[in-house]
Amino acid sequence: MKPGFYEAEFKTYCLQPGTPDPRQGDAYLQGAITGYRKDIIESVLLNSQDKNDIDQKNIQLLLWSIVSCSDFNSLSYNVQTDAVKLLTQKQIFELKGGVMGVIKNVSYSTGLLNASNDISRLFKTGVDSYEAYEKIAVHREQSRIIKDGVKYDQWYKQKENYYVRYFPESYKKVKIQVYVPGNLLDADNKLNNEYVVFYPTGQQAIPAFTNAQRLGIGAPVLDIVRALIKINKQPSVPKKIPEKNKNPKTGV
């Protein structure tokens, strides 16, 4: 990145079934994927960037099946076919039950655990309606404030000293803004002899002060080749031309 302001929209995915859909005013910050089968979730998100032909709903159904510990074999043919494009054979084998595990760091309350169990039961019964899964995973009530004093448009400083903030439109899409201070980089646009790169895909956006959804960040909404974010060019400020001293007699 070069100094300046950046903005782009990214596809996102619900990673915490049983929580409210993000609403305007919910502050979010960046975090790493955590919890059960995080490596598989990361792979799905990262590989989705090069698979723009895959329906976002199929990716979401795959992620819901992963976080709810559902049997891979219970997924529809279309979801299984798309999963093969996103995961390795070893990862598919694990999802089919090759490695047994328990849910960790996914269910923080009885409500979340019930949501995961309900989603798992839907997959087992072969329900084919996306809306049926969405109704369980994404609650439509207003998110609840659990921490005071956080602004929804707050900038969060990164370790390289640039700033990021997130504005979710829903659990399906988030607008990300980045600010790189003008004095951060040297003349070659480097920091400590390295370029500064912002790569949100494969991570998650975490609610800063509410109980809203945790969002896995996927591919950019627009088909951008290796340029994940676009520069919002600020119009240059025109310089004021100094007025010439007028002759008090002639006015010229």
Residue 126 pLDDT: 85
In whole angstroms, give the CA distance from residue 210 to residue 25.
10
pLDDT of the chain, 252 residues: tens digit per residue: 889 899 999 999 999 999 999 988 889 999 999 988 999 999 999 999 989 899 999 999 999 999 999 989 999 999 999 999 999 999 999 998 864 443 433 344 445 667 888 899 899 888 889 999 999 999 988 888 888 888 888 899 999 999 999 999 999 999 999 999 989 999 999 999 999 889 899 999 999 998 999 999 999 887 554 444 555 554 444 444 445 555 555 555
Q: Distance of CA 73 to CAs 8, 168, 187, 209, 235, Å?
A: 36, 32, 55, 37, 55
Residue 231 pLDDT: 53
113 close to 102: Cβ distance less than 8 angstroms: no
Q: Quick count: other Cβ atoms within 10 Å of Cβ 158?
A: 14
In whole angstroms, give the CA distance from residue 120 to residue 86.
21
| Termini Cα distance of the chain | 49
Residue 112 pLDDT: 63
Q: Quick count: other Cβ atoms within 10 Å of Cβ 250?
A: 6
SS (H, E, C) the chain: CCCEEEEEEEEEEECCCCEECCCCCCCEEEECCCCCCHHHHHHHHHHHHHCCCCCHHHHHHHHHHHHCCCCHHHCCHHHHHHHHHHCCHHHHHHHHHHCCCCCCCCCCCHHHHHHHHHHHHHHHHCCCCHHHHHHHHEECCCCCECCCCCCCCCCEECCCCCEEEEEEEECCEEEEEEEECCCCCCCCCCECCECCCCCCCCCEEEECCECCCCEEEEEECCCCCCCCCEECCCCCCCCCCCCCCCCCCCCC
Residue 115 pLDDT: 87
Q: Which amino acid is at 67?
A: V
